[in-house]
Amino acid sequence: MNTRITIANLLAAKREGRKIAAISCYDYSTARLVSQTDVQMIIVGDSAAQVVLGFDSTLPATMDFMVAITAAVRRGAPNVFLVADMPFLSYQISRAEALRNAGRFMTEAGAQMVKIEATSAHLDVIKAVSDAGIAVMAHIGIRPQSISKTGRFKAEATTAEMAAELLSLAEQMIAAGAGSLLIEGIAAEVSEIVTSRCEVPVIGIGSGPGCDGQVLIAPDILGLTQGPCPKFAKSYDNMAKRTVEAFDTYALEVGKQQYPDAEHSYHMKTGEFERLQELLKGKL
């Protein structure tokens, strides 16, 4: 793929009924692999705080950390549409702070869109960032940054009243300037209505098949995640098992002195070892 995917391409995909495949990844090496596939979008999520750094929530992700890994992903996947996740307290303090941080993702990391976990309280932030010329993906439904308030996550829009509220919120986000929606943990019936009513691309995570696109984190897709996963997560390989086996084989070969062998070692030029031996003899 030689041409960078843009929001225009995603809008065209929506209009033409072509589904958008998105992956969350956090590093250069994985991004390089993603860039060799038909995946159109990468979201560098603040879930990196959990997956990469080992925290129990997304909250410890900082702006500096998120900018650094987003830039790394851009270098690995220069042609994939790139969304950067605004971490906790990067946009809640003030609109000025939100603009400054969103701008950093554009200028320092090469992102094409920023994602903001939003409620109706953040409509002014969505509008301010959009008015500044920065594309915004509004993240509604389950919002991991709100874990300290909710204590646990559960499916959203599972009653008629909750669904009506979410549909209204989605419309408000788009009216405020959101160029895309990410809906997480939404009842499948409701996500289909949201998608049909919205003119912007709607990406789902755990929200059923009716969205314009889907996103999963790379470690889940690869089967690298050990332990319990969300209901919606699907693994397409079991690389955790194969990775452990590879590490074990490496350790075994080192212990048996089978690695490194001659093929995996550097060697002196022809005749130079003999010369070295002569030089060393003269110093004895």
Q: Which residues are catalytic?
A: 184
Q: Which residues pair with 43 in a beta bridge?
A: 24, 83
* Strand stretches in the chain, DSSP E: 20-24, 41-44, 81-85, 113-117, 136-141, 180-184, 202-205, 213-217
Amino acid type, 257: Q
What is the three-class DSSP state of 1? coil
Residue 176: count of CB within 10 angstroms of its CB? 21
Tokens 């500044």 locate to 132
Contact (CB, 8 A) for 111 and 132: no
* Under 8 Å between Cβ of 76 and 28: yes
Query: Beta-strand (E) ranges in 173-268?
Result: 180-184, 202-205, 213-217
Distance CA 65, CA 37 (A): 26
